[in-house]
Structure 1
């Protein structure tokens, strides 16, 4: 069983080096982040391996719309810290991190995320090029 701590983010609080952040408000609540924002949780793990495993579990929960189903609030949707913790615990109970199938899926998610970022960056540069070309007519 993984030992991790999920808490509300507060600026200046000392933490271990094995942390990532989880957005808690808005339509993307549940999305794991590498850098903190004003509205996020902190997930602290014992080591890098556990932190990475938890990050990709949270990513899968977010992408699989598990977090979206748990959003509350009529104006600004948000997810409660207890709900996020429950989702993570349930997923941890369902998986076997040593299973080759699980490891392949985790690598696939990482690969897809990296390629998506690369392509989005390229699309942004193409848009800028298009604007520059249109402005020079």
Structure 2
């Protein structure tokens, strides 16, 4: 399931994350975006095959950021997080794109991130890129 409803993602994260880190997305400071794996763990999410705690933590944090940020600022944040991030962080940015409406507001950014991921040869980034550009996005949550 590439794009579970955001409510399902949040529930699975809460059930699977390290004790004490379940509120991480709502407390996230984007200077600690890289710390999601250490803080929340990298365990698989219960009931959501292919998702890990660190992926979910980052996607939920980006969804929260998107709710309170103008689209042009969100694009700048995503660009920075992707280009400065490691493979885990890049994968999370790609996985978050359908939840953020970026393909409609900044399709050039979405396409450039997807194109870069496809060029890497990293199977995890390629898998994330495969679903990143979908126009229909996740199911309502």
TM-score by length of 1: 0.29
What is the TM-score of this pair, normalised by structure 2?
A: 0.28
Between 1 and 2, higher relative CO (CA 8 Å, sep ≥ 6) is seen in 2
Computing the radius of gyration over CA atoms, which structure comes out larger, 1 or 2?
1
